[in-house]
Structure 1
Amino acid sequence: MRELVMQIEEAAGVIRRRWPGPARVGIILGTGLGSLAGQIQTEATFEYQTIPHFPRSTTIGHTGQLVCGRLAGLAVVAMEGRFHAYEGYSYQQITFPVRVMRALGAELLVVSNASGGLNPQFGLGDIMVIEDHINLMNGNPLVGINDDRLGPRFPDMSAPYDRRLIDKALEIARRENFVAHKGVYVAVVGPNLETRAEYRFLRTIGADAVGMSTVPEVLVAVHGGMRVLGLSVITDMCLPDCLKPANIEEILAVAAGAEPKLRKIVLGVLDFVQQGQ
């Protein structure tokens, strides 16, 4: 763990030499949602390969760079492209950028993803504000020797997603007249999609949407004392009795179409935070 702390400081040091910060917010932009970075008043960008110990993104639709600047009046660090367990990375590697964001000063993590809808009340392109999650991945980034400089040995997960920010996100959606739900996200490893029986199981245990990311990053953010806002775009429906084969091009198209809604929520929430909330 001491080695991890040194790696975090090395990566943060490279960023600080060109962008002193300090950051207030870290943002992870998921599949098809990277265009939100275009709203940032960019002050510095870093290709992932130029940052020590950063993995390389191999997923379609993920640019692979860190954007530093200002958004809604706040200093932000935004990831255009994230890492997944199905790419072969460890959970420590997947979450390393969140550790770096925290080292740069970020107190809030905004994380977005594309996910499959399990709740029959959802529709394509809807936004789900994550109120809780279920971790069905095969690992946890907090396993191993704990370093108290990064966070407590046994972080509490009774409310990993900030309730005030959840309420604000839903309020923004109502005001802007688009559909947003509150729901439970379940994380699986992938890369294959689930069977009909698995979708039935996931719905039975209380999940509203399923995806292959987000939970590791949230675990590390909570471990580091950060507030978290999680947003899912429902890009395909996973209803076992009327299941259709998924198509990555269609998923990306739905995600891109939902981007304006996601942008309104993120900007509105950041304005709320800027006001001291």
Structure 2
Amino acid sequence: MTAARAAADILVHAPGVHPRVGIVLGSGLGSVADRVEDAVSIPYGELPGFPVPAVEGHAGRLVVGRLGGQAVACMQGRVHAYEGGDFAPLRNAIRALKLAGCNTLLLTCAAGSLRPEVGPGRLMAVADHINLLGTNPLVGPNDDTFGPRFPSLSDAWDPGLRVRLHAAAARTGIALAEGVYAAWLGPCFETPAEVRMLKTLGADAVGMSMVPECIVARHCGLRVAGCAVITNLGVGIGEGTVDHAHTLSTAAAAASDLERLLIDFLDGLTVEDGNQP
């Protein structure tokens, strides 16, 4: 099994560290991994079956060490559905984190806001999602060793972990919004009409990631929390153009708030902190 080999390699590269929390760092947010203590950096290319990102802002390294007092494995970068190919590398990476010892997955991304009051630079905890990718990472034969053929997503984004995110935000003085995240295939940004549609559907933010990883993680029993860094207002809501360079620069500027939030969130985190209303 490729995921098992990758998990074994992670533990060999970082002896003595048994990660309990996996973190996926999105566009422009890779600097958060610089805060990991006693860090061991493993290029994805050295881990069997891991994805190799091809988009600027995604370094393609796994950083293993300690953050906020927790043993963590930080994925610096991800692949996206718009890059083509199938979801096998994404499934393999998330399952490898599970097999290496992780019980919790914290997902981050850069996103566009559909709410004028939640503007660039703000952070948003994910309460639920809408999958508009047109596909699902579990399509194809099911691997019963990881999870059921028809997994429930009623608690996809763990309510107890979300409560903990808000508590961490209050302690650190960070204004943390909360909302529904819509996964957009991309790579084009949305049109004004599509932004209006997304708002009608009940979305509060839109991006091109996180949802496939959440689905794979829930399928194999990982608890999931998500935090989106708002880099822009949706077209037609705010002024100015939206492009990837702007996304990266705004995400990088907000990374310090994300660092403080995650460190406080991780401090004292236990298994019992999940799935509490």
Q: Give the 5 Å matches for 1:175-186.
A: 175-186=171-182
Is the Cα contact below 8 Å between 2:190 and 2:235 reproduced in 1?
no
Amino acid at match of 2:85: Y
Pick aligned residue for 1:37 from 33, 36, 58 = 33
- Unaligned residue ranges in structure 2 (runs of 5+): none
Q: Are residues 1:8 and 2:3 paired?
A: yes
Pick aligned residue for 1:19 from 11, 14, 20 = 14
Q: Give the 5 Å matches for 1:239-254.
A: 239-240=235-236, 242-254=238-250
Q: Are residues 1:112 and 2:78 paired?
A: no
Amino acid at match of 2:155: A
1:30 CA drift (Å): 0.7
Q: Secondary structure at the match of 2:11?
A: helix
Pick aligned residue for 1:150 from 123, 146, 153 = 146
Q: Are residues 1:212 and 2:217 paired?
A: no
- Unaligned residue ranges in structure 1 (runs of 5+): 1-5
Q: Are residues 1:170 and 2:138 paired?
A: no
Is the Cα contact below 8 Å between 2:124 and 2:228 reproduced in 1?
yes
CA deviations over 1:59-111 (Å, ceiling 9, x no partner): 11111111111112221111011111111131232332111101101000011
Is the Cα contact below 8 Å between 1:85 and 1:94 reproduced in 2?
no
Aligned to 1:3: none
Aligned to 2:252: 256
What percentage of residue pairs aligned between the two structures are identical? 42
1:251 CA drift (Å): 1.7
1:182 CA drift (Å): 0.7
Amino acid at match of 1:29: L
1:241 CA drift (Å): 5.0
Instruction: Give the distance between the partners of 1:133 and 1:253, measured in 2 at CA.
Output: 25
Instruction: Give the distance between the partners of 2:88 and 2:48, measured in 1 at CA.
Output: 14
1:154 CA drift (Å): 1.5
Pick aligned residue for 1:189 from 151, 169, 185 = 185
Q: Are residues 1:58 and 2:28 paired?
A: no
What TM-score do the two structures reach when normalised by structure 1? 0.93
Instruction: Give the distance between the partners of 1:194 and 1:276, measured in 2 at CA.
Output: 39
Pick aligned residue for 2:80 from 76, 84, 96 = 84
Is the Cα contact below 8 Å between 1:83 and 1:89 reproduced in 2?
no
